[in-house]
Structure formats: structure tokens, C-alpha cells
Amino acid sequence: LISNGQFDDLSGFVTREVINEVKQNYEKLSSEQKQKIAIDESEIVFTYPYLIGIIMDDQTNNRLVEITMIFHILKDRDAYRQEMLNATGNVASNWTSAVKKMRDNIIVCNYKFLRDMSKNAKDDSWTISGLNHWQPSEYEQQQKQE
């Protein structure tokens, strides 16, 4: 939805604050960066919970659970496998080259999920309260330029 600019369709899945922030940042992205936002489940190569927190408000008796998940994405990973399998010449050199390409194309996604676990919660579904997609290789390039 985000990669197509369909921000209104995010309501109910993502907090209003996140939708507004994503809209602002989306306008600054290149068309190539916008295309990279769309993620297929098969492109997830590694995922783990980074942080789990409980937010308690004793005055209102609200109990919220927040989980930050990290996803490592590699688009078209079969192409890298085929490149390694079909390579000719020095195997070690070809393997190293393919691994460098994969490293340069990894996308890291950070998502914060929030759920109201209070006794009288009206909605107990998980909502995205923060999200970030970034490429370590782009970050490294920016650091070198500064």
C-alpha cells in the first residue's frame, strides 16, 4: 500500500501519526526507493524481535504491549543463487562478488507493533506504531559523503 501511495488504506493497521510521517517522507523518495518499499513475505531472509516492552498507566489502568521487530529483506534472492551456481572461473571470487552484491542490496525494516492489553480494551488488535525501511549500503554512502 505504501509503495503505491495508498495511505488512506493504512487506517486501522497503522497509527494516524505514523501515516502522517510516512506521507511526508514518501514525497522525498526517488521512484527506485518507492519500489523497494513493497515487500513480499518470501523476500524476508531473517527476522527477530528486538525489543518487547510493557507500558502501564496506573491512573487509567491501561496496559499496552509494544514489540519492535526487525526484518532483513533481500529482493530477488534466487537471482543471486543462480549467479553463484552458473558462474565460471574462480569459485571463491565469484562467491565473494555475489555476497557483496547481496550485502549491498539488503533492506532492513524496523516495525513497532502496539496492542492494548487492558481488561476493558475495545480493540485488542496489533497496530503499527512505528516503521522504518533503510538500506545499510545507502547509509554507508551518505556517511562517506559527509
Closest by CA position to 76, among listed 101, 47, 94: 101
Average model confidence (pLDDT) for the chain? 88
Q: What percent of the chain has pLDDT over 70?
A: 100
d(CA 118, CA 46): 32
Residue 90 cell numbers, joined: 574462480
124 exposure class (CB count in 10 Å sphere: 0-12, 13-18, 19+): exposed
Residue 67 has a pLDDT of 98
Residue 114 has a pLDDT of 96
Write the CB contacts of 9 (distance below 8 Å, at least 6 apart in sequence). 1
Per-residue model confidence as pLDDT tens digits over 94-144: 778 888 888 888 999 999 999 999 988 888 899 999 999 999 888 777 777
* Predicted TM-score (pTM) above 0.75: yes
d(CA 101, CA 75): 11
Per-residue model confidence as pLDDT tens digits over 61-77: 899 999 999 999 998 87
DSSP 29-92: S-HHHHHHH---GGGEEEEEEEEEEEEEETTTTEEEEEEEEEEEE-TTHHHHHHHHHH--S-HH
Residue 10 has a pLDDT of 87
The residues with which 11 forms a beta bridge, in sequence order, are: 14
Q: Domain residue spans in the chain?
A: 6-145
Given a cut of 80, whether residue 85 has pLDDT beyond it is: no
Query: Region 22-39: what's the mean pLDDT?
Result: 89
